[in-house]
Amino acid sequence: MIKLISIPSYFQLVTIILTFFTLISCQKKPIEIPSLRENVLAQLDSIQGDVAVAYINLADPSDTLMIRASEEFHAASTMKVPVMIELYKQQEEGKLDLSDSIVLVNEFKSIVDGSPYSMDIGDDSDDVIYSKIGTTVSINDLTYSMITVSSNLATNVLIELVDAKNVTATMRTLGADKIEVLRGVEDQKAYDLGLSNSTTANDLMMIMKAIAEDQAGTPADCEEMISILKDQQFNEIIPFYLPKDVTVAHKTGSITGVHHDAGIVYLPDGRSYVLVLLSKNLEDFDKGTNQLAKVSKLIYDHFMTQN
């Protein structure tokens, strides 16, 4: 005997369908996770000023973030990293030896007309070095002071040694297409004419990436440069909110309304990324600095979810 299967009526089908969609609509919908760009832009909204961001995961170059990364900023003391790279390059070429000593002087020539000018201890972040004027100091020691305590006097001595034009030319070979290292620090005549060192977040990212990947010199030289950068004494931005076991090889820079940080962030397990944060026209320097540090933490939190 054939058993007949009952077919639901039209109204029964409608009821089943409505019940199905009702059950689905009652289920908890997944929460959409904001993208890294959205999170960073939301944080930047709280900063009264202009900010550029450049981030790249060194193990996965597709994991990157670029915000106003091609916009030019006053380089401030971030230009001291290119000077350091040029010093190691000229040593490799046999033009100088970083272990050699030179007489420390405090008289420099303006790029405008060659007129002399001197550094003021009151405007420098390194006052110890001024007691050594007139004595011999090793190039290694000057390089270390230029990076770790951002010594302006050491910087000017070293720029005259390697020539600013050579510094810029070397940066071009590293893929930094816009950075301009024109002069030393506190050349007022040049500043008044708008002749200042400039950079972009993208260029500093390329430079730091080159150091991290042994492309800015020999592997041994890059290792030494990283070691110096890790001894940075100004840590208010990139490292500020990061865990203590995270190491940052970086260089900051600041002048009125400007605060930068560019560095390589190393996790204990060996993973790393490059982050550059540039700012200008900051209405509240301290608040802007703290907000930039929070952007660094956002980048770190994002990086931790990618690996």
Instruction: Say if 208 falls within a structural domain.
Output: yes
User: CA–CA separation, 101 vs 251, rounded Å?
Assistant: 24
Instruction: Say if 148 falls within a structural domain.
Output: yes
Instruction: Say if 156 falls within a structural domain.
Output: yes
Instruction: Say if 116 falls within a structural domain.
Output: yes
Q: What is the band of 128 on the pLDDT scale with cuts at 50, 70, 90? A: confident
Average pLDDT over residues 177-183: 96
- Whole-number pLDDT of residue 17: 58
The pLDDT of residue 7 is above 80: no
Residue 229 makes CB contacts below 8 A (sequence gap 6+) with 81, 147, 211, 249, 250, 251, 263, 264
Instruction: Say if 91 falls within a structural domain.
Output: yes
- Whole-number pLDDT of residue 199: 98
The pLDDT of residue 29 is above 60: no
Question: For the residues of 266-280, what is the DSSP string, one character each?
Answer: E-TTS-EEEEEEEEE
CA distances from 266 to 243, 246, 249, 263 (A): 11, 6, 8, 10
Instruction: Say if 72 falls within a structural domain.
Output: yes
Span 129-155, pLDDT tens digits: 999 999 999 999 999 999 999 999 999
- Whole-number pLDDT of residue 306: 84
In 3D space, the residue among 303, 301, 277 whose CA is nearest the CA of residue 290 turns out to be 277
- Whichever domain contains 244, its CATH number is 3.40.710.10
Percent of the chain with pLDDT over 70: 89
- Whole-number pLDDT of residue 31: 46
Span 253-303, pLDDT tens digits: 999 999 999 999 999 999 999 999 999 999 999 999 999 999 999 999 999
Mean pLDDT of the residues in the chain = 91
Beta pairing partners, 251: 262
Domain with 133 in it: 34-305
Higher pLDDT, residue 217 or 24? 217
- Whole-number pLDDT of residue 22: 55
The pLDDT of residue 26 is above 60: no
Instruction: Say if 105 falls within a structural domain.
Output: yes
Percent of the chain with pLDDT over 90: 83
Question: Residue 135 in contact with residue 111, Cβ under 8 Å?
Answer: no
Does the pTM exceed 0.85? yes
SS3 (DSSP) at 198: strand
| Count of structural domains, the chain | 1
Average pLDDT over residues 157-169: 97
User: Among 64-78, 124-138, 200-214, whose mean pLDDT is lowest?
Assistant: 124-138
Average pLDDT over residues 203-232: 98
- Whole-number pLDDT of residue 8: 55
Q: What is the band of 203 on the pLDDT scale with cuts at 50, 70, 90? A: very high
Instruction: Say if 20 falls within a structural domain.
Output: no
